[in-house]
A and B are shown apart, each in its own frame.
Chain A
């Protein structure tokens, strides 16, 4: 079965640094998403992306966050200046129309 691939699996960064989380969605999918899960809390929606633009975003997705599909295959989440509270597991997902396929996540640790 096709997979959504996320890299790296673990990322450690210093507070205030920029990080880019990378995802390769399934090739014929049209919709792309980022979710995150802070340890012990719920999986939370961050943003959805369709037709090269953000289709919906949550309150969490403030000006420090951005997404990009730079080359037609990758889908990235950038955090400009990381904060301690950004430490979480970040999941990328993609879908053709309905069923979401999730990657295995990137564990981000902000020190």
Chain B
């Protein structure tokens, strides 16, 4: 069945460091891929998405490219801020639908000044 694997955290970085959070997936067909972020005390928020191979999703300085050949959707940011501290979830939706998201385990990011 479909599944998502993402790197374990926590990831601890200094402000302005480069961020990569790895995400790989297993799916039949052509899933849509997402990154969600959960700030402390808040719900899950959609950060970015990509719906087909080679698409790049981007938002708030974060980027991720849908790589079908490596079944990956790694999240990157060139210069993190303290306010980026949160838990990041990679997710997929099979068949282009959004009803049933399958999430990774989440990666906690802590950014220090």
Contact = CB atoms under 8 A, between A and B. Distances in A.
Do A and B associate with each other? yes
A42 B98 CA distance: 18
Interface string A33-52: 10100000111110010000
B43 interface: yes
Interface in A19-74: 31, 33, 35, 41-45, 48, 55-56, 58
Contacts of B41: 104
Contacts of A4: 43
Given A43-B89, A98-B98, A100-B98, A91 B103 contact: no
B44 A43 contact: yes
Given A43-B89, A95-B98, A98-B98, A104 B43 contact: yes
Given A41-B105, A42-B105, A43-B106, A105 B43 contact: yes
A9 to B, nearest CB: 9
List of 7 A-B pairs having minimum Cβ-Cβ separation, nearest first: A102-B43, A43-B103, A102-B44, A104-B43, A48-B99, A103-B43, A45-B100
Q: How large is the interface on B (under 10, 10 to 19, 20 to 34, 35 or more residues)?
A: 10 to 19
Interface string B85-112: 0000101000000111111111000000
Q: How large is the interface on A (under 10, 10 to 19, 20 to 34, 35 or more residues)?
A: 20 to 34
Nearest to B89: A43
B105 A31 contact: no
B46 interface: yes
Contacts of B46: 99-100
Interface of A: 4, 6, 31, 33, 35, 41-45, 48, 55-56, 58, 91, 93, 95, 97-105
Contacts of B105: 41-42
A55 B106 CA distance: 26
A6 B45 CA distance: 15
Contacts of A105: 43
A37 to B, nearest CB: 8
B42 interface: yes
A6 B42 CA distance: 11
A42 B104 contact: yes
Interface string B27-47: 000000000100001111110
